[in-house]
């Protein structure tokens, strides 16, 4: 049996590949440190867990509306008003089975065969693949490291064609942790308005910022940009709820209605119990978010200093998310390896440290390190990485 052409175009996930190899070594009894994970290591706050238990006791174990329960939509609207100064009605919001499905659903309703989506690189690994699954064409525009990996207005203009349908923005970014400021967003937004492009603003790391920089949604810049923007967000990163699978999209009613229709045939609805847990998350618990953010900030400072002490490594200090994205070109050269992927594989085999090669993020000169683990583990990982480099240094 031949598989569908759309599935044959997908690129294998480097994150899953390195995770599988790390698991194989762990099962063989090796002491492996995995820095590839893309989720907080904290458990979901207790008040959210209790809300889920209460939802079950109250009988909220049935189907819900395809786009999510009204109470949660109202809580999301209140969050957007409080945190982002944006006003949305419940029918401009869809609750989804994770922010990843919100993106997948959006591309399915937005793209026709041949439509192009501009994807700034480095990018989250699923953006290009989801565009391809919707029969669209991802157009990769590389953000230069010297510009904190962000694309410029000139680069955006040069990438636009008659087939361009949308631009993806992810701020703070996975994998770089960098952010666009209001002026940068305004310039990019103006070009999108001039060319009638939709803007997909992935803001999933909004709560995890470790500088005085303020998160700005491009939808805040002007009413016109708000009408051209679909915000993607959720509770996975902000509330340590990756396994609960609750995300949302907020945007123009026409698009949200189409997404809701598609969801009704795809997932029926997000898990009912998870929705009530997310409702509790949005209605309280800011101290838990701040505690998690504070610990991430301390880990970043420690790990960044240690990574910068590794021979050949260069790294721009991120402002948000929970990743470092160092350039290891010089390190790879001085240790005698032919590519970053080869270097990462050898590091795992010899020192039992699992990193994700940047090739999967559209940046083959870099590696991604997650600091979503304890200080002790991060310190040991950094020591092993440095020792590996010293052992192989030519």
Instruction: List pLDDT tens digits, range 121-143.
Output: 999 999 999 999 999 999 999 99
> Quick one: average pLDDT of 297-317?
98
- Asked whether residue 252 falls in the same domain as residue 104, the answer is yes
Write out pLDDT tens, residues 63-97.
999 999 999 999 999 999 999 999 999 999 999 99
* Nearby residues of 88 by Cβ (< 8 Å), 6 or more positions away: 76, 77, 80, 81, 250
Note whether 273 and 345 are same-domain residues.
no
- The enclosing domain of 328 has a CATH number of 3.90.1150.10
Q: Tens digit of pLDDT for each residue in 253-292?
A: 999 999 999 999 999 999 999 999 999 999 997 898 999 9
Contact 373, 301 (CB under 8 A): no
pLDDT (mean) for 215-226:
98
Render pLDDT for 150-202 as a digit per residue (tens, 0 to 9). 999 999 999 999 999 999 999 999 999 999 999 999 999 999 999 999 999 99
Residue 50 lies in a domain: no
* Residue 334: exposure state from Cβ atoms within 10 A (0-12, 13-18, ≥19): middle
Residue where one domain finishes, among candidates 284, 303, 324: 284
Pick the closest to residue 125 from 138, 109, 113 (CA basis): 138
Is residue 270 in a domain? yes
Query: Residue 131's pLDDT is what?
Result: 98
Segment 365-371 shows an average pLDDT of 97
Residue 185 is predicted with a pLDDT of 98
CA distance 297 to 210: 6
Residues 171, 213: one domain? yes
Q: Are residues 306 and 213 in the same domain?
A: no
Percent of the chain with pLDDT over 90: 91
Say yes or no: 235 and 293 in one domain. Answer: no
**What is the number of domains present in the chain?**
2
CB pairs under 8 A, 24+ apart, for 129-137? 129/10, 129/11, 130/103, 130/104, 131/107, 132/6, 132/9, 132/10, 133/6, 133/10, 133/104, 133/107, 133/108, 134/107, 134/108, 134/110, 135/6, 135/111, 136/107, 136/111, 136/112, 136/165, 137/163
| Residue 83 maps to a domain | yes
The Cα 274–Cα 347 span in angstroms is 38
Write down the residue that tokens 């001085």 correspond to. 334
Q: How far apart are CA 149 and CA 180, in angstroms?
A: 10
Residue 254 to residue 70: CA distance in whole angstroms: 18
| Same domain flag for 259 and 315 | no
Q: Which domain holds residue 272?
A: 57-284
* Cβ neighbours of 108 (radius 10 Å): 18
Q: Residue 223, Cβ neighbours under 10 Å: how many?
A: 8
pLDDT of 8 reads 87
Say whether both 244 and 322 belong to one domain.
Answer: no
Q: What's the pLDDT score for residue 13?
A: 72
User: Are 254 and 270 contained in the same domain?
Assistant: yes
Which helix (H) or strand (E) is 229 found in, with range? strand 229-234
213 is written with which tokens?
A: 């920089």
- Same domain for 272 and 189, yes or no, is yes
pTM of the model: 0.96
Per-residue model confidence (pLDDT) at position 167: 99
Domain match, 255 and 298 both: no
Distances in Å between the Cα of 287 and the Cα atoms of 158, 207, 238, 281 are 44, 12, 12, 11
**β-bridge partners, 139:** 118
Question: What are the backbone angles phi and psi of residue 367, rounded to the nearest 5°?
Answer: -135, 155
d(CA 304, CA 306): 5
Q: What was the pLDDT predicted at 205?
A: 98
Q: What letter does residue 152 receive in the DSSP assignment?
A: P
Looking at residue 150, what is its pLDDT? Answer: 98
- Give yes or no: residues 217 and 325 share one domain: no
Interaxial angle between packed helices 99-110 and 253-266, expressed in degrees from 0 to 180 and rounded to the nearest 10: 110
Whether 366 and 245 share a structural domain: no
Confirm whether 269 is domain-assigned. yes
- Please, what is the average pLDDT of the chain? 96
Question: Residue 151: exposed, middle, or buried by beta-carbon count in 10 A (0-12, 13-18, 19+)?
Answer: buried
- The pLDDT value recorded for residue 21 is 83
Closest alpha carbon to 320 in 170, 153, 182, 193: 170
């Amino acid at each position: 049996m031949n598989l569908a052409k759309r599935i044959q175009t997908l690129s294998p996930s480097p994150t899953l590949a390195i995770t599988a190899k790390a698991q194989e070594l762990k099962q063989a009894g090796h002491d492996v440190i995995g820095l590839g994970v893309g989720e907080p290591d904290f458990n979901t706050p207790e008040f959210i867990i209790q809300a889920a238990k209460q939802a079950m006791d109250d009988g909220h174990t049935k189907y819900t509306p395809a786009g999510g329960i009204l109470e949660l939509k109202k809580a999301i609207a209140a969050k957007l008003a409080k945190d982002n100064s944006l006003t949305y009605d419940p029918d401009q919001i869809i609750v989804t089975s994770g922010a990843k499905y919100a993106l997948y659903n959006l591309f399915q309703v937005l793209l026709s065969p041949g439509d192009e989506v501009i994807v700034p690189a480095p990018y989250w690994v699923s953006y290009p693949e989801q565009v391809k699954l919707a029969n669209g064409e991802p157009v990769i525009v590389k953000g230069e490291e010297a510009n904190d990996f962000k694309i410029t207005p000139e680069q955006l203009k040069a990438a636009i064609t008659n087939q361009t349908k949308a631009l993806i923005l992810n701020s703070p970014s996975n994998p770089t942790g960098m952010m666009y400021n209001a002026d940068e967003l305004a310039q990019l937004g103006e070009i999108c308005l001039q060319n009638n492009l939709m803007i997909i603003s992935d803001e999933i790391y909004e709560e995890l910022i470790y500088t005085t920089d303020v998160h700005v949604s491009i939808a805040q810049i002007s009413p016109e940009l708000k009408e051209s923007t679909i915000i993607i967000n959720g509770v996975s990163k902000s509330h340590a709820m990756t396994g609960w699978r609750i995300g949302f999209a907020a945007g123009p009613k026409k698009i949200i209605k189409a997404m809701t229709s598609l969801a009704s045939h795809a997932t029926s609805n997000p898990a009912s119990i998870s929705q009530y847990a997310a409702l509790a998350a949005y209605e309280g618990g800011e101290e838990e978010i701040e505690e998690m953010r504070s610990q991430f900030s301390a880990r970043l400072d420690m790990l960044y200093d240690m990574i910068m002490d590794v021979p050949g490594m260069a790294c721009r200090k991120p402002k948000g998310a929970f990743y470092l994205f160092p350039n290891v070109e010089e390190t790879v050269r001085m240790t005698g390896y032919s590519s970053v992927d080869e270097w990462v594989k050898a590091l795992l085999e010899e020192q039992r440290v699992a990193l994700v090669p940047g090739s999967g993020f559209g940046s083959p000169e870099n590696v991604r390190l997650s600091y979503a683990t304890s200080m002790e583990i991060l310190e040991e990982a950094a020591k092993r990485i440095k020792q590996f480099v010293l052992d192989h240094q030519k």
